[in-house]
Structure 1
């Protein structure tokens, strides 16, 4: 996989980061690390990963906004416990909870719940972008 990632570079990182934010079991951090350790510009890698992951989160938001209840439960494998936890956190902290959109297990349900609650993209994108940028920047800093 590393050879394939190095062949596609930032485009591959962008795509993997997008997919990682859409309920698929993809690890974008490993891809970011592989490219940085292979000598690619850390700033460009952070930008590509952040953009892809943020757009993937927006897709998950859209699924929450316009997808049906059975689709969220069955197709996205969003368990009742995951959804209920995300609903509680989102109800308590509102759009600020989306700073946690980068976290495993909780992040994707939070993005879907934000869509379910009808949160506008104007309020959705800033905290999601900030949280994801901070995560990738911290990882790049540790690897540089």
Structure 2
């Protein structure tokens, strides 16, 4: 690994930069880019156990705001595309989303479908603030569950 990248990774692992790094990684991973933020959260907590709750909350905030960006991307897409293509699968998915409305954003934490779900919620012009609130609840539950599970399976993580 090049010297500069090793130095950058060491710098970002410091507690004063760790939370901001978790925020950025969580934010970017909530967009349509394929990136997972759980390893960053777990790594920070492994190195700094006292940052458990701050890391969970910062990751939730970053991931929720990234979901909000996806919502706005969906809204922008709606202005370009007037109708769905009309396939049976798309129509079923749209009907399901219409039935649940913003509450469907509770599932924004799911891999593969969660981030596009935020964009579709914007495309369907669901109210932004309720969608963001449901995204935050789902994403908080994911980070709390995933981090607690990792700490359960790797109990020595808090002792290093």
* TM-score calculated relative to the size of structure 2: 0.74
When residues 86 and 42 of structure 1 are mapped into structure 2, their CA distance, relative to the original with a 3 A threshold, is farther
When residues 118 and 130 of structure 1 are mapped into structure 2, their CA distance, relative to the original with a 3 A threshold, is same
Q: Alignment partner for residue 49 of structure 1, among 44, 51, 59?
A: 59
* Aligned-residue RMSD, C-alpha: 2.4
The answer to whether the Cα contact below 8 Å between 2:38 and 2:147 also exists between their aligned partners in 1 is no
- Match in the other structure for 2:109: 102
| Larger radius of gyration between Structure 1 and Structure 2 | 2
The unaligned stretches of length 5 or more in structure 1 are 71-79
Q: Alignment partner for residue 28 of structure 1, among 27, 37, 58?
A: 37
Deviation at 1:137, TM superposition (A): 1.1
* TM-score calculated relative to the size of structure 1: 0.81
Q: 1:1-144, aligned counterparts within 5 Å?
A: 3=10, 5-7=12-14, 8-40=17-49, 41-67=51-77, 69=80, 84=90, 86-142=93-149, 143=151
What is the number of residues matched between the two proteins?
134
When residues 21 and 86 of structure 1 are mapped into structure 2, their CA distance, relative to the original with a 3 A threshold, is farther
- Structure 1 distance, partners of 2:11, 2:74, is 32
- Structure 2 distance, partners of 1:101, 1:112, is 10
